[in-house]
């Protein structure tokens, strides 16, 4: 009798130990994967920052980009095209092709966003970047660790983002300063929510990867989503915290 009970207890313990080990392996693997997503996101941010600073420090580059509106707006259109190409090639292109698209987009975006260095003081840019980093990190941690399903919050934020885009287009004609600040405040809240939501979506999607190649593609897909959340949060926050020259 005692021998049977001991055998049963040993079986339960071994089963529990196996489950715990499997959970630990999954958690460790997921943590490593998400680290790579953040790594590529930071690579994109570095490229963008370096490109913006290069334009700001080079009169030749600045003159080339801003002297002709076709070049500046052409770069903006090229950004959109790159995102479309990236999305279209996500499931079939090689990792190298997708990485090239991602880095090229980060570079072109940096050229466009160099206007920030001309409009705001370097101190306010640095402070805003640091604030954005802290807010982004906090919300990304929430998205990673929370057990709550954030789909409803994500849907609400996406609808809010559409509203922000429409309001921004209307304000181009209205030119209302109070409305601009209201839009910026709402946009910061929206991208805070999207950061948490996107982090959770990326985490879940990475767990469904069927091959190493799929995993590598998802690194860049996740990095681009978080990159866009960070950049937009930074730009809208800069309207509050930025000190113009």
pTM for this model (two decimals): 0.85
Radius of gyration over every alpha carbon of the chain, rounded to an integer in angstroms: 22
pLDDT band at 5 (very low <50, low <70, confident <90, very high): very low
Q: Among residues 48, 39, 50, which one has the least CA distance to residue 82?
A: 48
Q: pLDDT for 88-120, tens place per residue?
A: 998 888 889 999 999 999 999 999 999 999 999
Backbone φ and ψ of 175, nearest 5°: 65, 35
Q: What is the pLDDT of residues 67-91, one digit of tens each?
A: 888 999 999 999 999 999 999 998 8
Tokens of 71: 């070049």
Full domain range(s) for residue 162: 2-241
Residue 53 has pLDDT above 90, yes or no: yes
Confidence of residue 3 (pLDDT cuts 50, 70, 90): very low
Predicted confidence band of residue 29 (pLDDT cuts 50, 70, 90): low
pLDDT value at residue 166 = 92
**What is the 3 state secondary structure string of 51-115?**
HHHHHHHCHHHHHHHHCCHHHHHHHHHHHHHHHHHHHHHCCCCCHHHHHHHHHHHHHHHHHHCCH
Per DSSP, the residues of 178-231 read HHHHHHHHHHHHHHHHHHHHHHHHHHHHHTT--SHHHHHHHHHHHHHHHHHHHH
In total, how many domains does the chain have? 1
Name the helix (H) or strand (E) containing 128. Answer: helix 122-145
Give the range among 25-39, 129-143, 146-160, 180-194 with minimum mean pLDDT. 25-39
Cα four-point dihedral sign 75, 57, 229, 164: negative
Residue 15 has pLDDT above 50, yes or no: no
pLDDT digits (tens, 9 = 90+) for 189-207: 999 999 999 999 998 888 7
């Amino acid at each position: 009798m005692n021998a049977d009970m001991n055998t049963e207890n040993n079986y339960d313990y071994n089963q529990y130990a196996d489950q715990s080990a499997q959970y630990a392996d999954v958690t460790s693997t997921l943590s490593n994967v998400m680290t790579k997503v953040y790594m590529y996101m930071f690579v994109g941010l570095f490229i963008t920052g370096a490109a913006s600073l290069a334009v700001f420090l080079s009169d030749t580059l600045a003159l080339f980009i801003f002297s002709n509106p076709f070049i500046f707006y052409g770069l903006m259109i090229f950004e959109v095209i790159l995102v479309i190409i990236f999305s279209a090639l996500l499931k079939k292109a090689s990792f190298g092709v997708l990485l090239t698209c991602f880095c090229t987009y980060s570079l072109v975006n940096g050229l466009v966003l160099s206007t920030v260095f001309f409009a705001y003081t370097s101190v306010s840019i640095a402070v805003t970047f640091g604030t954005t980093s802290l807010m982004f990190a906090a919300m990304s941690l929430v998205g990673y660790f929370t057990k709550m399903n954030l789909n409803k919050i994500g849907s609400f934020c996406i609808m809010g983002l559409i509203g922000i885009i429409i309001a921004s287009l209307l304000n181009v004609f209205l030119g209302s300063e109070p409305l601009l600040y209201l839009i910026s405040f709402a946009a910061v809240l929206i991208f805070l929510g999207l950061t948490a939501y996107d982090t959770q979506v990326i985490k879940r999607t990475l767990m469904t990867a069927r091959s190493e190649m799929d995993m590598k593609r998802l690194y860049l897909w996740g990095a681009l989503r978080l990159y866009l959340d960070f950049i937009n949060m930074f730009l809208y926050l800069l309207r509050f915290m930025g000190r113009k020259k």
